Structure 1
Amino acid sequence: MKARELIERLIWQENELYNLYKLGETYALFERPELRDTFALMAEEELRHRETLTGLLNEGTLESLILDYMDELSIEPVLSDERAKPESLEELVVEAVLREKHAYEMYSKLAKLLDEPFSDLFMHLAREELTHAYRLKLIYEAI
């Protein structure tokens, strides 16, 4: 896999999470209205992640930096995620936790491998994904 493909896959994953959280808003609207704002917030953050990665991809800078580290990244979890089709709020939360875990792991690896300012950027993304996983854990316990 080329570095460009990895970045494109990360963008795809961010888009999948965005779609899950928008669906979560809909589920919450009917099942758990108090959770709607949490899903909306996470959707906005995933959209921001997607836009950040798209900007980096368009610049081309990140692609050349990651190229040297492709073997060290162990990208299989990111590649194995298929399009999610949750049929309930509970399924959605479980699927989102798994994807957040994969995103957190990848961003953490990138943060360790790259120099500033990219290491800071990916550490920030990793922290946000970890925060999402924690919020999802709280949601799961509440439902």
Structure 2
Amino acid sequence: MNLEEILKRLIWQENELYNLHKLGETFAAYEAPKLREVFQIMAEEELRHRKTLEGMLSNGSLEGTAVIDYLDAISLEPMLEDERAEPDSLEELITEALLREKHAYELYTKLAEILEGPMSHIFRMMAGEELKHAYRLRVVYEGL
């Protein structure tokens, strides 16, 4: 897998998370209105992640970086196995989103370790936000 394919897959995954959180807003509106804002905030952050990755893809930010040397070592299997989610309930949605947030956190953490400077910082920040999302989702799940 080359760098462009990885970035496209990450963009797809961020879009899936965005869609899950937007669907979470809808479920919450009917099942738990107080949770609507939680899903809205996470959706906005996933959208920002997607736009950041799209920018990296379009301007070649990762070309010539150390990540190219480690492409085979980066474990993408979990993210590659994720398919389109179609949850039927808020519980199913949270379970699916938790798994995807975990996968994103692990991959962004690896990228932050491989890269240096601003790129490392960007992926570390994105990993931190994915970890916060997982925490929020877990708290929401436990409160259901």
One-letter amino acid of the structure 1 residue matched with residue 105 of structure 2 = Y
1:45 partner amino acid: E
Corresponding letter in the other structure for 2:81: S
Q: Match of 1:46? A: 46
- 1:1-143 paired onto structure 2 within 5 Å: 1-65=1-65, 66-143=67-144
Gaps of 5+ in 1: none
1-side partners of 2:124 and 2:14: how far apart?
A: 16
Cα distance in 1 between the residues matched to 2:64 and 2:57: 10
Query: TM-score normalised to the size of structure 1?
Result: 0.98
Residue-pair matches, total = 143
Instruction: Say if 1:18 and 1:43, in contact at 8 Å, map to a contact too.
Output: yes
SS of equivalent to 1:71: coil
Unaligned runs of 5+ in 2: none
Change in Cα spacing, 1:79 to 1:63, as seen in structure 2 (3 Å) is: farther
The letter of the residue matching 1:5 is E
Runs of 4+ in structure 1 off by over 3 angstroms are none
CA distance in structure 2 between the partners assigned to 1:64 and 1:41 by the alignment:
34
RMSD: 0.8
Between the aligned partners of 1:64 and 1:96, the Cα distance in structure 2 is 33
Query: Residues of 2 paired with 1:134 and 1:61: CA distance?
Result: 30
User: Is the contact made by 1:25 and 1:35 (CA closer than 8 Å) also made in structure 2?
Assistant: yes
**1:64/1:4 CA distance change after superposition, 3 Å:** farther
Higher helix share: 1
User: TM (normalized to structure 2)?
Assistant: 0.97
Could you tell me how far apart the structure 2 residues matched to 1:113 and 1:78 are?
18
Query: % of aligned pairs identical?
Result: 61
* Residue 68 of structure 1: how far off its partner (Å): 1.4
